[in-house]
Structure 1
Amino acid sequence: MLIVKYLSLLVMLGVLLGSMALVMLSATPSIAADPTPTAVTFVPLPEPTEALVSESDLADIDLRALPILPDFSANAAFLRSLYLEGKRRALNDRAFSKVGDCMTASPNFLVPFGTGAYTLAEYSALQDVIARFSAPLRENFNAFTHPSLAAASGFNAASVLDATWSDPALCGFDESPLACEYRHVQPAFALIMFGTNDLKSLTPSQFDFYLRRVLVETVN
């Protein structure tokens, strides 16, 4: 049986865009609905600059102290602005894009949710989420089964931005895998997972810069 917490990654790691943002967040216990929502304006993320990240900076991070599902309430206004901006752009609120390396592209990751090969057991409340993202995207694919153009074995946070690695049959000459994927799918959500290959090929400063570039291209 698949680990059902993979669905929670759509909230925990996804960059939330579009009109499903508040619906997904409402399923997270740490999020309380704002009874008096205020008007918000979408502010694009600033372009990143490469800053020096030292090994000592990383040594002070205790991964065990980080929550499995972060509390997004402090960012409620920003998330609401993403929700409204996604509606303005008419992004597909039944679609998400997978962005990352071999683990993200693996047929064992999320795909069985799109084929019906799963058992929810005590997590039956997630069935509505699965149904929401099981709508057809193209051909016989849905969001779970769609083979992402921005997820492949060997990818790191830099290569997904490099047109060298784009599928020439589906992408423009100067179009990166990330831009190509977003153009084809027009997703309201993105699930972004990098790190393994970055350890071998990028410095901490480079990883910080390129991952921020991925976020800027995703959100803006």
Structure 2
Amino acid sequence: MSKEEPTVVAEASSPSLANRLATIDPTFLIWPPTVGPSPTTLPTINQAPVESTPSGLDQLPQPEPVTHIVRPGDNLFRISLAYGITVEAIMQANRLADEGLIYTGQALLIPTDTAVSSVINQNLGAEITPPTATPIPITETPAPPTETPLPPTETPTPAPPVLTTVNGIPMESILLMPTNVQENARAIFTVGQALGRNPRAFSKVGDSTIENPHFLARFDEGPYNLGEYAYLQGAIDHFAGSHSRQGLAVRRGNHSWTVTDPMWADKSICQPNETPIACEIRVHNPSILIIRLGSNDRGVPSGFEHNLRQVVQVAIDSGVIPVLGTKPDRFEGSNINNDIIRQVAIDFQVPLWDYDLLAGTIPGRGLDVDAVHLTTFYAHDYTSPTAYQRGHGVHNLTALMVLDTIWKEIIQGSGE
């Protein structure tokens, strides 16, 4: 595993998406920021202004400050999303010098007006008086003639509940895909369909942490037992053939810069001057790209960020939905690479698979003795408690849940 990376990487040269898709409705092209220019924001729906009427709210008592008790797995980034404020606002309100210096059980002051809603509800509720009911005289109605009773009908057996949590972490925390990200992902998918992308294929970009045979391959090859997650079989069937494909952009020792460098492309398959990621998109023609990079990038965070943004931009320009995954290790000596991954996902408005959060629920963060690769789970039996205590067990299950959600929310939602 290489430990160094250059700070400057030549960006992949490719024609802009707009030039290649002049006939596509421009409303499809909701592009996030590139390495240089400022991001283009998503279009918003203009709404007619609503006239306000005096409500006497000025007379209401001021809301009490909101306090958040830090729970296992919390970080300032996730807390800020939950309350709709910035990390900087929380740090300033609590006089925090470092966003990583929070601990379980800590009480954080949240500078928000969310407490107003409860005060408003209490005051408004006190002012509402139900109308007085007018008594209606009771009259006797003759009983209808007795009918022949119908035979009892069978009550349908209710469907078993769908389990969408893993180790107590809900799906909305495993995959961060709010409304604006869903809209952008649909726009990218629509462009990809115009380019002929395969809605039944996904590709992978990364290093040895997602090499075969440990990452997803068993869902093509079997055997496996999904247990309470049997509803994920639909995603396995839909993306059949992609689970066991390692592809041309996964390689042991990959850095963020090697996947965009033609020197590292497979010369027997890839075209001259074609990068590994561009080659994989051309050959496999996916609609989704799972990106798991950062475990080999240390020493130059700005270089990692530059390269990661380039990877995401190549995917978007190709009409492929990029899914950024966080990593469980701390190979770079801190957690800055995960912070960069999360910020890039926000800036480009693309889905974030936050595996780092799940790693905190597994003994040893689900890492093997080298503190980078994941502990194996050969059985792939999700009726076994061991599945949820092994790195690859949780890694594979949540990756499949991410694919299932994007398939149902984005691909099926786009009419495919």
Whether 2:265 is the aligned partner of 1:166: answer yes
Q: Cα–Cα, structure 1 residues 85 and 117, in superposed 2: closer, same or farther, change >3 Å?
A: same
Structure 1 residue 87 displacement after superposition: 1.7
Residue 235 of structure 2 corresponds to: 129
Whether 2:170 is the aligned partner of 1:72: answer no
The 3-state SS of whatever aligns with 1:48 is: coil
Contact 2:220 2:243 in 1 (8 A): yes
The 3-state SS of whatever aligns with 1:196 is: coil
Contact 1:96 1:143 in 2 (8 A): yes
d(CA) in 1 for partners of 2:257, 2:103: 27
The 3-state SS of whatever aligns with 1:217 is: helix
Q: Cα–Cα, structure 1 residues 40 and 62, in superposed 2: closer, same or farther, change >3 Å?
A: farther
Residue 205 of structure 1 corresponds to: 302
Whether 2:219 is the aligned partner of 1:113: answer yes
Residue 312 of structure 2 corresponds to: 215
Contact 1:40 1:80 in 2 (8 A): no
Residue 145 of structure 1 corresponds to: 244
Residue 188 of structure 2 corresponds to: 82
Which residue among 29, 41, 61 is the counterpart of 1:42? 29
**CA RMSD, aligned part only?**
2.7
Q: How high is the TM-score relative to the length of structure 2?
A: 0.37
Residue 92 of structure 1 corresponds to: 198
Contact 2:217 2:244 in 1 (8 A): yes
The 3-state SS of whatever aligns with 1:125 is: helix
Letter in 2 for 1:86: G
For residues 98-129 of structure 1, the C-alpha deviation after alignment (integer angstroms, 9 at most, x for no partner) is 10001122311000001122110000100000
Letter in 1 for 2:277: L
d(CA) in 1 for partners of 2:102, 2:243: 28
Which residue among 95, 104, 108 is the counterpart of 2:210? 104
Please, which runs of 5 or more residues in structure 1 have no aligned partner? 1-38, 51-56, 135-141
Bigger relative CO (Cα 8 Å, ≥ 6 apart): 1
Please, which runs of 5 or more residues in structure 2 have no aligned partner? 1-25, 38-87, 89-97, 105-171, 318-416
d(CA) in 2 for partners of 1:170, 1:63: 49
Whether 2:119 is the aligned partner of 1:60: answer no
Q: Cα–Cα, structure 1 residues 147 and 62, in superposed 2: closer, same or farther, change >3 Å?
A: farther
- Mapping 1:16-35, distance limit 5 Å: none
d(CA) in 1 for partners of 2:277, 2:102: 28
d(CA) in 2 for partners of 1:206, 1:212: 10
Which of the pair is proportionally richer in helix? 1
Q: Percent identity?
A: 31
d(CA) in 1 for partners of 2:275, 2:210: 18
Where does structure 1 differ by over 4 angstroms across 4 or more consecutive aligned residues? 61-66
Task: Provide the aligned length of Structure 1 versus Structure 2.
Answer: 166
